[in-house]
Structure 1
Amino acid sequence: MTAAVKPPSAVGTLVRLKWALTLSGLKTSAWQVVAMVLAALMALGTVVGTVVGAFAVGTAGQEWRPLLWVAMVVGGTVAILFVMLMQAMVFGEGSTMSMGKFAPFGIPDRSLQLGIILSSLSGVASLAATACLMLWSMAYRGYGAGAVLAQIIMAPCIVILTVCFCKAALALMDTLIGTAGGKSVVYVVVMLLVVTVSQLPSMLMNGSVTIGIDALLGPTEVFSWLPLGCLFAVPFDVAAGAWWAALARVAIAAFTVVACFLVSSWCLHRQRRTLGEQNGARSIKGIGAFARTADSPAGAICARVLSLLRRDVRQTMFLLLPVLFVALFFLQSGDVGPWFPFLGLLIAGWIMLMGEANGLAYDGMGFSMEVIAGVDGRTDRRGRVMAYVTLFVVYFVVLGLVTYAVTGVWRDAQDSLLALVFTVTGFSWSLASLGAAEVFNCAMIYPVPSMDKPFANPQGRMVAQAFIPFLFMGASALVMAPTIGGTLWLLFGAGLEYYPWIMAIALANGIAICALGVWLGAKLLDVRMLKVLRTLERNAALQQ
């Protein structure tokens, strides 16, 4: 009598599936190989940097210990939050393995959740983070062998806590915020927080924000008892012989991991129960922008683009970032000058078109109506450019006037002229970026999250999602090389008499590149229209 064959564990199957998908991508896509090599090199560089830093910190004197205490506890807490925000902004809940993708299958909730967590822990990023945290134990050489051993033990625990917290937070965002408006607000807040946090080191270095170490010792003690910072304090407790405090912090972390696991399981269970339900009735609205544009194919495309920009938070975010940059530069302008916030307007022309660089993917299957109607590439490009140029004129005028009034730049004639140059140059750069975007969005299309689920990026083409935006930013800077050169010359001592020439060069540069991009993009779209439609159909399938 033969023994019954035991079915494979669902948890182990999910971990193997994660690596099977990764290896399959390496076999079928050269870009995936490039991405894996780059990821491995970055991980290796991080590990080497950690070793060097750990040995340097380990040889520091007693006077550096308060700084290490603050850096580990507060910095570790901020790092975990930053990882969660970056994952929400860039990858979403649905990177390589997502609970939502397995919700229709009959895998038990806890087995599925455990498998997803273990598959994340077996990834390159988690393994590199674990290695770095373990090697960082050398920084505690001066605290004794107990502190070194405690850091080695805490390293994988910190990574497990981070993964569980990120999974639970993203699942809650996607589950509890049921309305499209609520998800849009949270998405905007997440993006703004990421940009703000990334600017904090610069603000601290130039003195815009000054905080002493002594003032941070009290808040650090509080952070050391919070769920995300408690494990970073354990080596210090062991070094001080505070064993009960160390055990209490480990217990807090263990309770947090269990709570995150239960929260994720509850979100998965709720997704199963609500699978396929409709979002409910929506109010009927008028034709909006279609009533205010020309009664022509190009006018209809212009109105459709404006309507999408108004309600699509995925693209609206790129229009809000310049406002944030202006505010951040305003906080840092004390030692520079009142003209400094206008650099935000200059950068605006560089980053505002990142959404339009993949504009056809954001349009989705709505583009199929153009193909069915027989719209040619020139009409499509003209309609899209009309929408963005109209938006940019209003945007730069309003933001420029508000910044002009708030900063007090009007008190000095040279500062006022410099602010005007940056505003005009930023507008010109937006025109050049628009021309580049009209070529990119029909040549390099990659999947984007659906409008209803901005936190759940589609699986696949992760390399394209990561690198094509930076490739577009590089191209946008390259086509503005004459203007960038003139602006640098302005910053390094050009006289007032040359300021109008720089504005003229910038406008000519922007208009020429915009016209060239419209012409080239139209030719390219006419040739690739059916291929673009097939790509959009595949991307729509990934969003399901």
Structure 2
Amino acid sequence: MVAHFVRLRLTLLANTFRRSVWQTIGYILAMLYALGVIGTAIVGAVAGGGTDPLLTGQVIVLVGALAILGWWIIPIFAFGVDATLDPQRFVSFGIPRRRLLTGLAAAGFTSIPGAATVLAAVGLALAWWRTPAIVPVAVIGGLLAVACCVIGSRALTTVLAPLLESRRYREVLAIVALVPIVMIGPAISTIPAYFDDGSVSAEQARVLISDVAQIAAWTPFGAPWGIAAAIHDGAWGLAGARLAIVLLTLTVLWVVWDRALARSLVTPPTAGSGGRGKGLGWFDRLPATPTGAVAARALTYWIRDPRYSSSLAVIPLLPIILVVAGGGAFSELLLIVGPLVGWILGFTISSDISFDHTAFALHVSTGTSGRADRAGRAMAIGIPGAVLVVIFAVVSIIVTDRWDLAPLVLGVSFGMLGVGLGVSSVVSARMIYPVVKPGESPLKQPQGAAMATMVAQGLGLLVVMALSLPFLVTAVLTLAVSLTFGWVTLALGVVIGAVVCVAGIRIGGRWYDRRTPEILQQVLAQA
């Protein structure tokens, strides 16, 4: 049974490569990048093990603990549950739950992230090459760490999947967990500043790393990586205690995953029904035209569909991130919050048709024109987006007291919003890729979605940056040469944003009209 699940996983992975040339290229580039990162880490571990094995072991404990924590947390809020082998698809086959659980766990090791983590764990064991007898122990500890990664990730996401079907719980949990996740990057970026100004010496840093590593090694995240270090120090009792922590963690995770899987197979998660609506909502407020109808439908989605609203959760955190990145003060770095909001909001409709799922057939059956479809979707987020951009931009100007840069900030903000809407109107009509289906948990990750999303959105963002170069250049000139260029930036941002937005709606509309049957076929193929 385990071999069958592994073969099925590998077959599905091979089929993913055949779906699209660009998707295959994206996978290859991602694998090359992962191999480069893994190779660099292994070389660093080998070099560190040759000069200072003790410090290297402590660093491995810290990095390994972060890796396991990332495996547990990131899939929930960034990628979701990997539904390549959705357990609910095997309900009718009568597979014993324990065998199903074992097969899913083995298949998790053969995924690209799983294989990369296994390779990294085995490679990091070479840090103990000066003591060859410890290398096998380090390999075993690394493989136990990978088991914690895979089983912990699946257990946590399976447990939370039905809980997050409730919109209230989902939004609260998303905010609670998103805040520390988003703050990790800015917090890490401030660490070098303590060394640059000489406030922390090398010896103090070494002591700090040692203390934190010792604490981490007593947690399920650092214990598997610390077994080899304990044996290297001759602390056999400590090594046994860390091994016991790992085995106990795996046992608990396995039991939790088993019970959560049993519950999900009997009562699969379904979207909760919303409350009874009153009136026609946005359809009663917008013009009774094709464009108005599309805009009303899109606005309804933005308010009621968690798949849309969750994508905007990071926006309120942007000022906090910029304040932390600026050293905890209201620095001028806060002025980029307006352009960032414009950029994010402008590109949010790049997967709108994919999110429609089978409801896109309504647009086809009613003969909605491509221009009306593109314009309605852009209007739904563009108008409230413009209001948000102005609010964030003006507040950042007031807080930093840089009214002289107001034309620059507003110009770049409006420009990024308009260019993003125009490019997204084209991208969503040309690139259809798997997304979370309506009514499903936002934690799920459809088969082949990660790389297809990266390729489509990566190309789109490159086009956004290329079209934004004129007002970005004048923005730089404003700061470097003369504030007069700020008014040029404002004019260019508004004009280029409006022109690209209109042009994107027209070009996307023509492609929509030309490819409507193919688009519908692609959308239905993902049903």
Instruction: Provide TM-score, normalisation by structure 1.
Output: 0.87
1:458 equivalent in alignment to 2:430 = no
CA contact (8 A) 1:208 1:331 kept: no
Residue 506 of structure 1: aligned partner: 493
**Matched residue of 2:444: which SS?**
coil
Alignment of 1:233 onto 2:220: no
One-letter code of the match for 2:137? A
In the TM superposition, what are the counterparts of 1:240-319 in structure 2 within 5 Å? 240-275=233-268, 279=272, 282-319=275-312
Instruction: Please list the CA deviations of residues 348-383 of structure 1 after superposition, one character each: whole Å capped at 9, or x if unmatched.
Output: 222323330111112233332232222212222222
Contact 2:27–2:451, Cα closer than 8 Å, also in 1: no
* Residue in structure 1 matched with residue 504 of structure 2 by the alignment: 517
**Which AA in structure 2 matches 1:301?**
V
Matches within 5 A, 1:354-365: 354-365=347-358
Superposition pairs for residues 26-105 of structure 1, below 5 Å?
Answer: 26-27=17-18, 29-61=20-52, 65=54, 68=56, 70-105=58-93
CA contact (8 A) 1:150 1:235 kept: yes
Check conservation: 2:412, 2:471, Cα contact below 8 A: yes
Question: Following the alignment from structure 1 to structure 2, what is the Cα–Cα distance between the partners of residues 100 and 376?
Answer: 38
The equivalent position to 2:189 in structure 1, one of 194, 202, 209, is 202
Does the 8 A contact of 2:373 with 2:509 survive in 1?
Answer: yes
> Which whole-Å deviations, capped at 9, do the CAs of 1:154-174 have from their partners, x for residues lacking one?
121111111111110111111
The 5 A counterparts of 1:101-120 are 101-120=89-108
Alpha-carbon deviations, 1:278-329, whole Å to 9, x = none? 7467433443323332233322222221111112333324433343232211
The answer for the alignment partner of 1:5 in structure 2 is: none
Instruction: For 1:5-20, list aligned pairs within 5 A.
Output: 10-20=1-11
- Which residue is equivalent to 1:370? 363
Structure 1 residue 151 corresponds to structure 2 residue 149: no
Deviations 1:388-423 (A, max 9, x none): 221122211222343344x3x22xxxx322255224
Aligned CA distance change for structure 1 residues 516 and 277 (closer, same or farther; 3 Å):
closer
Relative distance call for 1:346 and 1:29 in structure 2 (3 A) is closer
Cα pair 2:407 2:486 within 8 Å, conserved: no
Q: Percent identity?
A: 24
Report the secondary structure of 1:496's partner residue: coil
Q: How many residues align?
A: 520
2:167 is aligned with 1:180:
yes
Equivalent residue in structure 1 for 2:322, among 303, 321, 329: 329
Matched, 1:346 2:339: yes
Report Cα offsets for 1:420-446 as digits up to 9, x if no partner. Answer: 522431222111110111111111111
Q: Is the 8 A contact 1:326 1:342 kept in 2?
A: no
Unaligned runs of 5+ in 1: 1-9
Q: How far apart, CA to CA, are the structure 1 residues paired with 2:324 and 2:16?
A: 45
Tell whether the 8 Å contact from 2:45 to 2:124 is kept in structure 1 after alignment.
yes
Task: Work out the CA distance in 1 between the residues paired with 2:516 and 2:194.
Answer: 52
**Tell me, what secondary structure is at the counterpart of 2:390?**
helix
Letter in 2 for 1:111: R
AA at the equivalent of 2:435? V
- Which residue number corresponds to residue 424 of structure 1? 411
For residues 52 and 263 of structure 2, what CA distance do their matches in structure 1 show?
Answer: 53
Q: Select 1:472's aligned residue among 460, 465, 474.
A: 460
Q: CA deviation at 1:59?
A: 3.4
Q: TM-score scaled to structure 2, two decimals?
A: 0.90
Answer yes or no: is the 8 Å Cα contact 2:165–2:441 preserved in 1. no
Is the Cα contact below 8 Å between 2:269 and 2:441 reproduced in 1? no
Is 356-365 or 43-52 further displaced after alignment? 43-52
SS at match of 1:441: helix
Asked whether the equivalents of residues 449 and 456 of structure 1 are also in contact (C-alpha less than 8 Å), the reply is yes
CA spacing shift, 1:367–1:33, aligned 2, 3 Å: closer
